[in-house]
Chains A and B, each alone.
Chain A
Amino acid sequence: MNLSHFSAALLFALFTSVVFGITQRSVAREQIRYGLYCFAMFIGGVFVAGWAMWLLRR
């Protein structure tokens, strides 16, 4: 299996966010919200790190 860096990061963010959401909050609604928050933070982090590396490379 040959995933791109981005698709690997996307899958990593998805599965990790699901587990974080379930384990770190008690109520279903809070679990969904926290899972989405973690997913957004992971993906946001990927873009921020990507742009930071692009700037450093210039």
Chain B
Amino acid sequence: MANSSIAKKNAAAPEISTISIVAPALGWLIPGAGHLIQKRWIRGGLLLISIGAMFVLGLMMNGRVYKPNGGDILDILGFVGDLGAGGLYIFARAMELGGGPAARATADYGKVFIIVAGLLNFISVADAYHIAIGKKP
């Protein structure tokens, strides 16, 4: 009884392979790259364009890029969202983009665009992992 339940559990567990680690990691660093590396060219390209455009539009609207912080809970969540964009976030921080004052109403939209781009990339990373383990075609 116990053995059969363990066997079932093992059968359901996904097999860890190199691609199941590399694809999500690369997908986080470059949006869509997790799909591209698995030869899902159209999906990867569309994800790259959509997430990349959202992040860039956010920056062009003077959106705020959150830094690591331990203050207000919304600031912490903003940082977690931004971090999802991976390489785009690292690039924006390295270039010191998105640090200006929110002088216009569009800056608030820009902040949301940047956070949502990061959150969408988290979903994209999970999708790349599901493809890598064979859970999704």
State whether B60 touches A19 (Cβ < 8 A). Answer: no
State whether A22 touches B46 (Cβ < 8 A). Answer: yes
Per-residue CB contact flags for chain A residues 17-45 toward chain B (1 = under 8 Å, else 0) read 01110110011000000000000000000
Q: In the complex, which range does the number of interface residues on chain B fall in?
A: 20 to 34
State whether B136 touches A26 (Cβ < 8 A). Answer: yes
Chain B contacts with A in 37-92, Cβ cutoff 8 A: 43, 46-47, 49-51, 53-54, 57, 60-62
Question: In the complex, what residues of B have CB within 8 A of residue A12's CB?
Answer: 54, 112-113, 116
Q: Which residues from chain A sit less than 8 Å from chain B, CB to CB?
A: 1-3, 5, 8, 11-12, 14-16, 18-20, 22-23, 26-27
